[in-house]
Structure 1
């Protein structure tokens, strides 16, 4: 059986892969996430996904490695993970009543292939009150998330409109990930009943 490895510690990405029936290992990649001078948000997010996949693929050459990275981009600026509660509240204030982009890159590395893509989704926030922003930050949910919110959590109530891939906003574009895996010789759907069939033999 082909070994699939997720080069990320993100529980959200792991949940998404489980959702499409994948069995996989987790090996977070340790890469420098500092943007390079003059690098666009799209270039940045794709480079990080590729570097994560490549770093783990070197250690596990027999595996299919999935690397991914997500950035929340407002007017061309990358909003990373908040450094503290004040920073989280400020980010949410900037997103309030505006449309931003969530760019998620996914890279698939094998011994003889290396492919990646970036999925961009437009997300519009309704206007947020100071009190609800304060209450949201107090839950702690924003602290480990790009842009300071989680669409799959309490932050979902802030989203007025979404154009693009919901799963990419959560952390991994499922359609594109499945396409890249198929291109690497691992169609996800072929695994759906194989474990059941092997048990019945």
Structure 2
């Protein structure tokens, strides 16, 4: 059975590969702002951008994961397609990838010594049968170290925070700056393996069915 990852994230691919999968990567090209605006309109919320107050981040990442999975699934057959999306929630604000280095520095000054919730949406589509899909969001509390300005500026200068949701990694250069995690470590990296197992079960599949042979 073919397994397709609708994400360009190297961390998600590495996590799945280390867990025995061999996913094919297909990038969806979904207009994320448009998908969120449409979903918020359906929920009766203002169609703001990513840095909104009061919108459900857990719902929004699931919306984007679904949009990505369904966009890729339309061009696939005989495959299980996984879409994912992550955002950090801090002080009621949704934080995806920072727009530039200045925003990343500002973000880390707000995050240091505090904690936020990293939400990762997952959506599975089984293209072998119509309307066969399952999705859920994994939410994990992340505690950040009390970084100095020098550490923040040096970390942002590496470029890593600009490429990831929340402007941090736990499996890369940002690892020393995360003091604790309450929840699934892999969900913070980008894909929750236990949740993936549960969603596969909802589709009548097992993890072992998708292991690389």
Structure 2 unaligned segments of length 5 or more: list them: 46-54
**Aligned match of 1:40 in 56, 71, 82?**
56
1:103-142 matches, within 5 Å, as 103-111=119-127, 112=129, 113-142=132-161
Deviation readout 1:137-166 (Å, 9 max, x if unpaired): 111111101111111111111112210011
Structure 1 unaligned segments of length 5 or more: list them: 196-201
The 8 Å contact of residues 92 and 147 in structure 1, kept in 2 or not, is answered as: no
The 8 Å contact of residues 2 and 210 in structure 2, kept in 1 or not, is answered as: no
Aligned residue pair count:
193
RMSD: 1.5
Report deviation, 1:106: 0.7
Give me the TM-score of the superposition, normalised by structure 1. Answer: 0.90
Give me the TM-score of the superposition, normalised by structure 2. Answer: 0.86
Counterpart in the other structure of 1:81: 97
Change (3 A) 1:190 1:110: closer
Change (3 A) 1:97 1:143: same
Give, in whole Å, the separation in 1 of the partners of 2:5 and 2:73: 10
1:40-189 matches, within 5 Å, as 40-111=56-127, 112=129, 113-189=132-208
The 8 Å contact of residues 6 and 72 in structure 2, kept in 1 or not, is answered as: yes
Report deviation, 1:182: 3.3
The 8 Å contact of residues 89 and 116 in structure 2, kept in 1 or not, is answered as: yes
